[in-house]
Amino acid sequence: MNFRNYVKEVAEINEELQYIKFSYKSENSNDPKPKVAVLDFVYPGRAGQKTYGQREDLLGFNLNYAPDKKYAKRALDEIDTFARLISAGKKEKWERIADFFPDAKEFVRRYKRENMKAIKRKDGWFWKKANFDDLIKFDKESV
């Protein structure tokens, strides 16, 4: 087995949140190159928001804001893995993260998908070009 096949196999076995990075252009953005652990690729917003259901957004944890990135990534992955094990939905997964890793709430961000450019997803140890259709399909298949 060559190295690339090994990396691909390890990535397929690994059940964790999807990690993406991209360039982001927005008037309110402080981070033009976020690295995000994605919770929801098609986030409608919260009921009661004036933009609820009107935008195509992405919801995730911007690891650039985490004080200890390795710890945050590991904690999010462990909670996500357990949530997948018990077939928890996105809302229940969010509640588990809020309960077991309350600091994560500090780096949750909502991104307008139309402002995201040069998207790449983490594939094993490497970053691979991606588009939203592939990311959403991959996310549904990994649940």
Q: pLDDT tens for residues 89-138? A: 888 888 899 899 999 989 999 999 889 999 999 888 899 999 888 888 87
Among the listed residues 40, 33, 16, 21, the one whose alpha carbon sits nearest the alpha carbon of residue 110: 40
What's residue 129's pLDDT? 93
Do 127 and 139 contact (CB within 8 A), yes or no? no
Domain residue limits at 109: 3-141
Among the listed residues 126, 124, 131, 67, the one whose alpha carbon sits nearest the alpha carbon of residue 101: 67
Q: pLDDT tens for residues 17-36? A: 889 999 998 777 788 999 99
Give the chain's largest Cα–Cα span: 53
Beta pairing class for 57-62 and 35-43: antiparallel
- Report the number of distinct structural domains present in the chain: 1
Q: pLDDT tens for residues 2-14? A: 434 433 443 444 4
HEC sequence for 76-129: HHHHHHHHHHCCCCHHHHHHHHHHHCHHHHHHEEEEEHHHEEEEEEEECCEEEE
C-alpha–C-alpha distance, residues 120 and 128, integer Å:
5
Model confidence, pTM? 0.78
Q: pLDDT tens for residues 26-70? A: 777 788 999 999 988 888 877 777 777 778 889 999 999 999 999
